């Protein structure tokens, strides 16, 4: 009788490498590793050999970069989804697409379980498992870090010893470095001096995607982008797909010190955590998109969209992507994007994105209305009646409070 199969979300790091023999030893599973490529770059080098040496029967490396960009990043950009005013959801919006592909591989392989290496204190365990539950409620979920009765390793040293005891001699070391998560949109950093909010980040050691604003060039650089229905189409006159635009913006933004955020955020599990996020290209793309929206959205729509964007960010942060609420809000957002078409120009300079002009065939800006000259559409006298009615509640209350209003 063949063994039951488990699909392991595999990064190639020490934790997920140690999980392979642990799963075989404690559950007698056939372990199928699945590495989801969301743009981690060189982190994927040498994974196949590592997984096989560690005891996996198979390794999938699934490139989902374009799906990630088109179906997960862009809805967040269109929504203007920013968690707690700073975090651009780089890790959060990657988790549902990873969960989706893990389920697809599990179905293909006839697996009965999915395993992930997220810790019991973080948000990722929630995001992975809510995605799996929504798409495959019958699959078992194994989270070693929460199974403290049989997962007894509590340090890198212990994990390395465990691997070596099982014949896995890989070039891991015991050095305590930053805990990082990387994809095409961003890279996050936690640990070391960042664990104390009183400590300034050591940016010389920490930054991966770019430089600090102090070390950015002394010359500004102009950038031009065009959008159609809220989606970026060209960068500096060249037509590209979304993933290519983000890649190029990462290079430009990193060069100029754009998109470095130091935040103490509120995790879903109830604790505060401190991290530094590098999102150079994403910061530029979000700003450029918002710059164009200013021209084409009316006041009432823009006001509600801001509220919906905040709600969308919370939904994504909490791992509730595969829900009717996310679908409903995204449907609203998509309607607001029908006329977000046009060109924006800005310059990058030492951590700043400085507007340098914007145009749209659907612009609601009228120079004749906005200027100080009197045009046909606006009669200054009309403001008298408007202000009288608009301010009537204030006036009535003041008269009442001051005894000037008869009962």
**Catalytic annotation present for 11:** no
Burial group, residue 68, by CB count within 10 angstroms (0-12, 13-18, 19+): buried
Strands 342-349 and 352-359: antiparallel
Strands 58-63 and 30-37: parallel
The answer to whether residues 185 and 246 touch, using CB atoms and an 8 Å cutoff, is yes
Nearest CA among 116, 150, 88 for reference residue 277: 88
- Alpha carbons 204 and 212: distance in angstroms, whole number: 8
**Catalytic annotation present for 363:** no
SS3 call for 384:
helix
**Catalytic annotation present for 196:** no
DSSP letter at 348? E
- Alpha carbons 365 and 363: distance in angstroms, whole number: 5
Pick the catalytic residue from 50, 95, 101, 274. 95
**Catalytic annotation present for 179:** yes
The answer to whether residues 13 and 178 touch, using CB atoms and an 8 Å cutoff, is no
Burial group, residue 299, by CB count within 10 angstroms (0-12, 13-18, 19+): exposed
Pick the catalytic residue from 54, 124, 182, 274. 124
Element (H, E) at 8: strand 5-9
Pick the catalytic residue from 15, 54, 92, 188. 15
Nearest CA among 279, 291, 278 for reference residue 225: 291
SS3 call for 78:
helix
Pick the catalytic residue from 179, 212, 243, 273. 179
Nearest CA among 172, 147, 146 for reference residue 158: 172
- Report the b/e string of 257-276 with b at 16+ CB within 10 A: bbbbbbeebeebeeeebbbb
DSSP assignment of 139-155, as one string?
Answer: SEEE-GGG-TTT----S
Q: How far apart are the first and last CA of the chain?
A: 90
Catalytic machinery residues: 15, 95, 124, 179
């Amino acid at each position: 009788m063949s063994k039951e199969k488990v699909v392991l979300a595999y990064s190639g790091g020490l934790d997920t490498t140690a999980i392979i023999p642990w799963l075989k030893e404690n559950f007698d599973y056939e372990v199928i590793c699945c590495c989801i490529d969301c743009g981690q770059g060189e982190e994927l080098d040498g994974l196949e050999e590592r997984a096989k040496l560690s005891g996996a029967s198979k390794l999938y490396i699934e490139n989902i970069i374009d799906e990630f960009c088109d179906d997960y990043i862009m809805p967040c950009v269109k929504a203007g989804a920013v968690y707690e005013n700073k975090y651009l959801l780089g890790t959060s919006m990657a988790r549902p697409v990873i969960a989706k592909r893990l389920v697809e591989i599990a179905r293909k392989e006839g697996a009965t379980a999915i395993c992930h290496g997220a810790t019991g204190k973080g948000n990722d365990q929630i995001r992975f498992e809510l995605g799996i539950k929504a798409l495959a409620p019958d699959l078992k979920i194994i989270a070693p870090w929460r199974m403290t009765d049989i997962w007894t390793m509590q340090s890198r040293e212990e994990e390395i010893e465990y691997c070596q005891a099982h014949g896995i001699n890989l070039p891991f070391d015991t050095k305590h470095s930053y805990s990082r998560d990387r994809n095409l949109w961003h890279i996050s950093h936690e640990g070391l001096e960042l664990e104390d909010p009183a400590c300034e980040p050591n940016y010389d050691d920490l930054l991966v995607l770019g430089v600090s604003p102090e070390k950015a060039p002394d010359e500004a650089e102009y950038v031009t982008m065009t959008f159609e229905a809220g989606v970026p189409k060209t960068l500096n006159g060249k037509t590209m797909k979304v993933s290519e635009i983000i890649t190029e913006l990462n290079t430009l933004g990193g060069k100029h010190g754009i998109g470095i955020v130091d935040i103490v955020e509120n995790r879903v599990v109830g604790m505060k955590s401190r991290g530094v996020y590098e999102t150079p290209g994403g910061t530029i793309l979000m700003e450029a998109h918002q710059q164009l929206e200013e021209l084409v959205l009316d006041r009432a729509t823009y006001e509600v969209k801001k509220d919906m964007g905040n709600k969308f960010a919370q939904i994504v942060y909490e791992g509730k992507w595969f829900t009717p609420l996310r679908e409903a809000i995204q449907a609203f957002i998509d309607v607001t994007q029908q006329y977000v078409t046009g060109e924006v120009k800005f310059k990058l300079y030492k951590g700043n994105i400085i507007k340098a002009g914007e145009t749209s065939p659907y612009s609601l800006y009228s120079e004749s209305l906005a200027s100080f000259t009197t045009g046909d559409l606006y009669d200054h006298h009309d403001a008298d009646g408007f202000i009288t009615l608009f301010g009537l509640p204030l006036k009535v209350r003041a008269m009442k409070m001051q005894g000037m209003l008869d009962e």
